[in-house]
Amino acid sequence: MAARDTSEGGPAARSSAGGASGVRGVAWVLAAAVLALLLVLAWLVLDGYARRPPQNDHVLHVRLASRAARGLGWPPHFLFHAVLNALTGFSGELAALRTASAAVLTAAVGARLLLTRRLATAVGARPGPLGTAGLWIAAFLVSPVVNWWMYPRIYLGQFTPTVWHNPTAIAALPFAVAAFVPLARAAVPGAGAALLSGAMLALSALVKPNFALAFLPAVALVGLARRWPLRSLAAALLPTLPVLGMQLVTGFGEERGSGLAFEPLTVWLKFTEIPAGETHALGSLLVSFAFPAGFALLAGRAVADRRPLVLAWLALGVALAQFLLFAETGAWLYHGNFYWGTVPCLYLVFVLSIVELGRLDVGRLGRAGPAVRALLWGLLAAHVASGALFWHRSLQGWMHDT
């Protein structure tokens, strides 16, 4: 019997390569199906919020878009409302705006997940179809671990990378990830990459200013510490400054009944208060940061390139400081609007920690490496499982029930 041709380029080798390529193609189709399923789940929640009477943040922003279409004024962060009006022909009709809101926000979730994989590749990871699907599921769901003192209210008082009840926070997230990606690729970004980051940051501020308020100081500190060229630093920072200046002038003042005040811990402690009057601030920190903090403490030294994680953590630190130390005055005090900067920053910290855990070299952690990796996967699983519960409760009602 003739020997089978298994040489490089022979029929058997080509058949094997073709079979592997076919299996990989099927795997990518399944990953795309996972993404489609996640978008359906997002639509169910977002469409429900847009149509749920009588009042929630989605309904509020739909009405703001309707007012703008009728010439009654635009909010300082107007991009989301402008997109809704453009899609509905500036009709101002609430029904059409509600449908447009759910569609735009579902698209924003999809864009955020696609950009999340782009972020993974920007830091050197190469997730295959299975890894990509897992990353998408985790990024879609991660939330604070369910607390033990205020259940079933698992949202208020904690810090979360995932929100469903606030449309502008959802719409700003893909711009935040897009602003981070160019700066994650190199220690010193070129002027083009920095300008792309600055443009995305400016767009995020036009949707919601809070990420830019936290990210700008972090980028400035990192750029100065790493001696970026002046043109790169300017390209990353300058596009957003006029946007924030406009919002400061038009969003605050006596005529709006709102200002800024130094109010250390006032808003956060109120959010963590339970009916008995006790606060669980330390518990809130624990359930919010269990996985990323655990990764930083136990495995951070094994990360080959820590620059992106350092920038994400620095931005999160700035956002936390802004929320914990400052507040709006008057009737806006307990709206907690400085909170919103923590959401995209914590999302970036979670995603980068997940990516680095996925390619962790446990050998660099010594004999305890396998146990550390298992513990970290367990903590991440707790965040993801809690996020599934958070999604389900968001499907049933809005934020005050969660």
DSSP code at position 253: B
Helix (H, G, I), strand (E, B) or coil at 10: coil
Distances (CA, A) of 400 to 118, 146, 227, 390, 397: 34, 15, 46, 12, 8
Classify residue 239: in a domain, yes or no: yes
Token pair, residue 296, equals 């930083």
| Residue 5 in domain | no
In a domain, 222, yes or no: yes
Place of tokens 């003042």: 253
CA 295 to CA 267: how far, in whole Å? 28
Per-residue confidence (pLDDT) for residue 402, from 0 to 100: 54
Q: 14 falls in which pLDDT band (50, 70, 90)?
A: low
Q: How far is the C-alpha of 280 from the C-alpha of 149, rounded, in Å?
A: 8
- Whether 19 is covered by a domain: the verdict is no
3 in a domain, yes or no?
Answer: no
Q: How many domains would you assign to the chain?
A: 1
pLDDT in tens, 32-53: 999 999 999 999 999 999 988 6
* pTM of the full structure: 0.92
- Flag whether 18 is in a domain: no
142, part of any domain: yes
Q: What average pLDDT does this structure show over 106-125? A: 97
Least confident of 50-54, 102-106, 372-376: 50-54
Residue 102 burial class via C-beta count within 10 angstroms: exposed 0-12, middle 13-18, buried 19 and up? buried
Q: Quote the mean pLDDT of the chain.
A: 90
Please tell me the distance from the alpha carbon of residue 348 to that of residue 355, in angstroms, as a whole number: 11
Q: How many helices (H) and strands (E) does the chain have?
A: 15, 2
Please say if the pLDDT value at position 1 is more than 50: no
Tell me which residue range forms the domain holding 99. 27-401
Nearest to 387 by CA among 271, 273, 280, 287: 287
H-run or E-run covering 64:
helix 57-69
Q: Does residue 2 form part of some domain?
A: no
3-state secondary structure of 160: coil
